């Protein structure tokens, strides 16, 4: 009579025993566990053969000895406490880093504002930023000085033209030389 039992693949054997696929594969190659390859090329392992070498997961986790179970519980508790403390420390580090980043952002913003202020000052120094009235007033003074000079030149021109009309050009020219000489 042939028993039709479900056989394990490496994946299901891993779940049933908690042992990695590579460990199971090495055990098959070394002959510790007997297995057959199916037509897909996958290993098929009889459950009794598998559990002969590696006990099922339920047996590995449960213990008949209450002291061993208590030790495992204490060990897990200590590990939990340790992991919680580590999480707490990591959160503190993250908070410090966030604070540091915010401080650097504020410094960068302040430096950027200082640079913009300096740019405005430099622009003011390099360009005429006085009030328009001041500039117009100075331009009026310059214009008045030019007009006074122009008026003086007109007066000289009229005087010379009047002398020319009275004496004639040659007389005036010769008279100017005598006066200069």
pLDDT in tens, 148-165: 999 999 998 888 777 766
Region 60-75 average pLDDT: 61
Does 122 lie in the same domain as 80?
Answer: yes
Residues whose CB falls within 8 Å of the CB of residue 10, separated by 6 or more in sequence, listed in order? 21, 24, 25, 42, 43, 45
The answer to whether 47 touches 6, Cβ cutoff 8 Å, is yes
User: Is 4 part of any domain?
Assistant: no
Does the predicted TM-score (pTM) go above 0.85? no
One domain, residues 70 and 125: yes
Q: Are strands 43-44 and 36-37 parallel, antiparallel or unpaired?
A: antiparallel
Same domain, 113 and 137: no
Range of the domain at 157: 132-162
Q: What angle do CA 116, 119, 122 make, to 5 degrees?
A: 155
In-domain check, residue 177 = no
Among 64-68, 84-88, 97-101, 160-164, the range scoring the smallest mean pLDDT is: 64-68
Check pLDDT > 80 for residue 180: no
Residues 95 and 125 in one domain: yes
Residues 69 and 118 in one domain: yes
In the chain, the number of structural domains is 3
Q: 80 and 49 in one domain? A: no
Q: What letter does residue 89 receive in the DSSP assignment?
A: H
Q: What pLDDT score was predicted for residue 82?
A: 87
Classify residue 167: in a domain, yes or no: no
Q: Are 34 and 73 in contact (CB under 8 A)?
A: no
Does some domain include residue 15?
A: yes
């Amino acid at each position: 009579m042939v028993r039709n039992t479900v056989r394990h693949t490496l994946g299901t054997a891993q779940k049933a025993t908690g042992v990695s696929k590579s460990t199971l594969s090495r055990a098959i190659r070394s002959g510790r566990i007997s297995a057959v390859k199916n037509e897909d090329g996958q290993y098929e392992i009889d459950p009794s053969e598998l559990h002969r070498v590696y006990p099922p997961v339920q047996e590995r986790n449960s213990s008949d000895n209450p002291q061993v179970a208590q030790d495992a519980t204490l060990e897990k508790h200590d590990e939990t406490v340790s992991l919680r403390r580590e999480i707490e420390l990591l959160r503190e580090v993250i908070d410090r880093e966030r604070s540091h980043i915010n401080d650097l952002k504020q410094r960068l913003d302040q430096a950027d504002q200082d640079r913009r202020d300096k740019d405005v000052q430099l622009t003011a120094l390099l360009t005429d930023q006085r009030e328009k009235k001041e500039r117009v007033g100075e331009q009026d003074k310059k214009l008045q000085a030019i007009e006074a000079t122009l008026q003086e030149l007109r007066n000289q021109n009229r005087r010379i033209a009047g002398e020319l009309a009275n004496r004639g050009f040659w007389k005036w020219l010769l008279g100017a030389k005598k006066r200069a000489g």
